Amino acid sequence: MIDIPDLHFTYGSKKVFDGLSLSLQAGHIYGLLGKNGTGKSTLLRNIAGLLFPTHGQLAVLGHKPSKRQPAFLQDIFMVPEEFFLPNVSIKKFVLCNAPFYPAFDKGQFDTYLKEFDIPGSNTLQNMSYGQKKKVLISFALACNTKLLLMDEPTNGLDIMSKSQFRKIMAGVLDENKCIIISTHQVKDLESLIDRITIIDDGKILFDQTTEQITFKLSFKMSFDSNEVKHALYSEESLSGSAIVTENIEGGEGKLDLELLYKAVVLKGKEIHAVFE
């Protein structure tokens, strides 16, 4: 689906990627995690062909994204963090944009709007930022592209909307589709993602399936000072210490994405040793 063997990219004199390598397959919802400014959006834009590598090539759906060929563009959709929607009705927006996506399903689009509580008669410019984002997400999903890129999709959504987003996303994946969600709000997507890729300073720090993570690591609260002392990672809280330890009991436990992210960034060597 996506093969990135050796990606180099710079903004002027600022080096963002220096030999980044990554392979992504269909049938997964990937979580691309990292703090702001680490290169998440830049990576998505390179995959979408909106930015071009300084050196190296990407293969996406069998195409070179930089060529922006119609056969490539009709099978990829990107929901950016910041976007502009024209001052038209939702109906007119669909009429003008849906023809570019052969697999677009108007029935699906209407269903998503209903689940997001968006009246189909609204004019886009009369909506709030969160409402506009829900329209764009609904359109993106209804396009049924093989590759869907989402950059901070829960930004601007209230608590109820985030719950609706998770519910909708849980039902859209199939074996022919790859979804990449870039976020720093890890709690919002904890139940959706089935593979975690953590990026920091333009490098891949961690790349594992949630199944592998929960089989290898245990996330829990502890009041045992000795257990906390020997944990791979720990942080104090009002209700004890949140810790990451090696899973020695076997079986899959519950994943804590926020705790995993902190552990990888701050104690990467210890976490990686468990997977070697």
pLDDT, one tens digit per residue, over 169-211 is 988 888 899 999 998 877 778 788 889 999 888 888 999 999 9
Distance CA 132, CA 248 (A): 47
| 191, 254: one domain | no
Retrieve residue 42's tokens.
Answer: 């830049």
- Tell me: the pLDDT tens digits for 138-176? 999 999 999 999 999 998 888 888 999 988 998 888 889
Q: Establish if 151 belongs to a structural domain.
A: yes
240 exposed, middle or buried (CB, 10 Å; 0-12, 13-18, 19+)?
A: middle
Q: Establish if 117 belongs to a structural domain.
A: yes
pLDDT at 46: 95
To the nearest whole number, what is the mean pLDDT of the chain?
91
What DSSP character marks residue 82?
Answer: S
Retrieve residue 227's tokens.
Answer: 């257990």
At residue 234 the predicted structure's pLDDT band, cuts being 50, 70 and 90, is very high
Percent of the chain with pLDDT over 90: 67
pLDDT at 104: 97
Return the closest-CA partner of residue 17 out of 180, 200, 203, 206. 203
Give the CATH number for residue 153: 3.40.50.300
E strand intervals along the chain? 2-11, 14-24, 28-33, 59-60, 76-79, 147-151, 178-183, 195-200, 203-209, 217-222, 233-237, 240-246
Angle in degrees, CA 39, 42, 47, rounded to 5: 125
pLDDT at 141: 97
Distance CA 48, CA 148 (A): 10
Q: Of 201, 228, 252, at which residue does a domain stop?
A: 201
Q: Please, which residues bridge with residue 236 across strands?
A: 241
Range of the domain at 238: 211-275
Helix axes 106-115, 90-97, angle to 10 degrees: 140
| 53, 171: one domain | yes
Distance CA 187, CA 167 (A): 15
Distance CA 223, CA 36 (A): 33
Retrieve residue 268's tokens.
Answer: 């990467």
Query: Residue range 212-241: average pLDDT?
Result: 91
Angle in degrees, CA 68, 31, 65, rounded to 5: 10
Query: Residue range 80-109: average pLDDT?
Result: 94
Domain count, the chain: 2
- Tell me: the pLDDT tens digits for 10-19? 988 888 998 8
In contact, 112 and 11? CB cutoff 8 Å: no
At residue 3 the predicted structure's pLDDT band, cuts being 50, 70 and 90, is very high
Q: Establish if 128 belongs to a structural domain.
A: yes
Helix axes 129-142, 106-115, angle to 10 degrees: 150
- Tell me: the pLDDT tens digits for 49-79? 999 999 888 999 999 999 999 999 999 999 9
Q: Of 201, 228, 250, at which residue does a domain stop?
A: 201
Continuous H helices in 63-203:
70-73, 90-97, 106-115, 129-142, 159-169
| 169, 219: one domain | no
Q: Of 178, 201, 224, at which residue does a domain stop?
A: 201
Q: Is 244 a residue whose pLDDT tops 80?
A: yes
| 71, 184: one domain | yes
Helix axes 257-266, 268-275, angle to 10 degrees: 110
Lowest mean pLDDT among 1-5, 192-196, 201-205, 222-226: 201-205
| 179, 218: one domain | no
Maximum pairwise Cα distance, the chain: 63
| 87, 194: one domain | yes
